[in-house]
Amino acid sequence: MAAAALLSAVLPTASPARAAAGSGPPVPARYAHQQLNWQPCAAKPSLECARMTVPRDWHHPGTGADLTVAVSRHRAADPARRRGVLMMAAGGPGASGLTRPAGFAARSPAVGAAYDVVSFDQRGVGSSTPVRCQTEAEFQDFYAHDFRDRSPAALRGVLDRSRQLVAGCLRRSGDLLPWLTTEQAVRDMDLFRALLGVRKISYYGPSYATWLGAYYATEFPQRVERAVLDSNVNFSGTWQDVEGGQPRSFQRRFEQDFLPWIARYDATYHYGRTAAEAKARWEARRRALRDHPLTVGSLTIGPNQLDSATIQNMYDAAPQFPQLASALSALDHWPSATPAERTLVRNVFGSYLSPGFAAAFFSVTCNDTPWRRDLGHWIRRSAEDTATHPLAGARALAYAATCALWPVSDAPRVRVTGKGLPTTLMLNSVHDPATYYEGAVAAHRALRGSRLVTVTGGGDHGQYQNGNACVDRIVNAYLLDGDAPDRDVACAAVPLPGPQGRG
């Protein structure tokens, strides 16, 4: 009852017309007075899980059926030194955060001893009320064919599949789609905070969760004690701008980090002794898969699957560069590939996203901020991206067209300023492919009072708990003792892995 009493006193909502925190009526009692029934998590018994009821639309909580948000908790390992709640979230948007506190606390035991580490599946995701857009077959077809094909028939096919995706979302989840926004999700977060019975939280969020955290901090600055934003999406701009910069950054990571790396280990992978030779070999493999796709069980590996696997393996060099290189090498001698190599190829080329992830990803990115609706513009823009930055640029039309065809959203705009916040810690590597450094710098400028830790000489996505002692030391000192750098600082990246990964 103490949590419920606290909630009714401190949890306001904002009207759609205003972004300022603290405006609007109090939370209705049916949400404010609910109790979280903590039980061992089915997927991770070391954690506690519960289900939280939230309104479909926080601005009109009496309209439409309620939603469920699945939440989790890892209790502080040292109750005598417990200093509060650390809320964390997952990236994407579309990834599950429910079981993440267990790994987070294990990798940073001092932080796990001092905080109750809590997380959740965002509305639309996983164990929360899910959004549904495509069947598995429809999802596979969306990524089939060849995104580099610029023939009129191929372009019509891309646009048709984007139309079908949007139509599938409306048919299967139309009454849910408008409310899958970051602005709605941060109000779910603040209800969770209040039901935990605390006035303030600390926060850790990587990738898209930096956008989520920045929005939360803007709407509820008085609820934030400390915040770490790791690998930053440019939350001061639009999703249209964010995704527009990714073709260049993924190409940069591929050409300046991965290709020189695989060439360095030509004796192991036999993929060329220079980056140029390795790139030529990769392009030759792509042409071969375009002309003769490879069937591995139920998996078909064509040119888009090569692109997707390469994109997915640009995020974290230590485990991913060796596994991608080994899979590429196996394709070169496929008739004689060992059972272990064939299993690796199935795993590397068959694990790109999922229908559920894609449904949540498009819902949030298409709803949060405006998109240009002119398909002709996106056809022209994607032609440039395909020519200059083809790794991710070739798929740009499929992504942009989906949001251009999405129902117009009236989600409130949130302008991130940093007003009223304590010092916020931001982390980013210079060659991050997904949350590129240029966007992180722009977000840092918008979030005044923040400190940016730049990881130089590297390109991993996710810096904390990634084996970089310099980064971990700064973050731990901040979370445990409140010691923030008095200016922006730099940490050198950890060395790239050898053929067998880090160590």
d(CA 411, CA 456): 37
Burial class, 476, CB count within 10 angstroms (exposed 0-12 / middle 13-18 / buried 19+): middle
- At residue 16, the pLDDT reads 32
The pLDDT tens digits for 28-70 are 999 999 999 999 999 999 999 999 999 999 999 988 999 999 9
- At residue 502, the pLDDT reads 54
- At residue 75, the pLDDT reads 97
CB 397 within 8 A of CB 160: no
Percent residues over pLDDT 70 in the chain: 94
- At residue 1, the pLDDT reads 37
- At residue 500, the pLDDT reads 80
Say if residue 3's pLDDT is above 50: no
The pLDDT tens digits for 391-440 are 999 999 999 999 999 999 999 999 999 999 999 999 999 999 999 999 99
d(CA 458, CA 492): 8
Say if residue 160's pLDDT is above 90: yes
- At residue 62, the pLDDT reads 84
The pLDDT tens digits for 168-217 are 999 999 999 999 999 999 999 999 999 999 999 999 999 999 999 999 99
Q: Where in the chain is the domain with CATH 3.40.50.1820?
A: 2-130+182-237+420-492
d(CA 295, CA 238): 39
Say if residue 503's pLDDT is above 90: no
Say if residue 18's pLDDT is above 90: no
- At residue 26, the pLDDT reads 79
For residue 231, give the H/E element and its range: strand 224-232
The pLDDT tens digits for 441-451 are 999 999 999 99
- At residue 24, the pLDDT reads 45
- At residue 9, the pLDDT reads 31
Q: List, as one string, the DSSP characters of 6-62.
A: HHHHH-B---TT---TT-SPBPPHHHHT-----EE-SS-TTSEEEEEEE-S-TTSTT
* Catalytic (active site) residue 207: yes
**Hey, which bits of 272-405 come out as E strands?**
294-296, 299-301
d(CA 202, CA 228): 8
The one-letter code for the residue type at 139 is: F
Q: Which residue among 146, 409, 461, 472 is the active-site one? A: 461
**Mean pLDDT across the chain, nearest whole number?**
94
The pLDDT tens digits for 275-319 are 999 999 999 999 999 999 999 999 999 999 999 999 999 999 999
- At residue 209, the pLDDT reads 98
**Strand 294-296 to 201-207 pairing:** unpaired
- At residue 7, the pLDDT reads 34
* Catalytic (active site) residue 461: yes
CB 108 within 8 A of CB 480: no
Say if residue 4's pLDDT is above 70: no
* Catalytic (active site) residue 432: yes
- Please give the order of strands across the beta sheet that includes 489-492: 39-40, 48-54, 67-74, 115-120, 84-88, 201-207, 224-232, 425-429, 451-456, 489-492
* 6 C-beta neighbours (distance < 10 Å), count: 18
* DSSP letter assigned to residue 409: P
Say if residue 344's pLDDT is above 70: yes
Tokens of residue 9, six digits: 């006193």
Residue 85 vs residues 8, 76, 262: alpha-carbon distances, Å: 19, 9, 43
- At residue 501, the pLDDT reads 65
The one-letter code for the residue type at 23 is: S
Q: Which residue among 207, 231, 363, 450 is the active-site one? A: 207
CB 241 within 8 A of CB 266: no
- Give the architecture-level CATH label for domain 2-130+182-237+420-492: 3-Layer(aba) Sandwich (3.40)
Q: Which residue among 368, 432, 460, 472 is the active-site one? A: 432
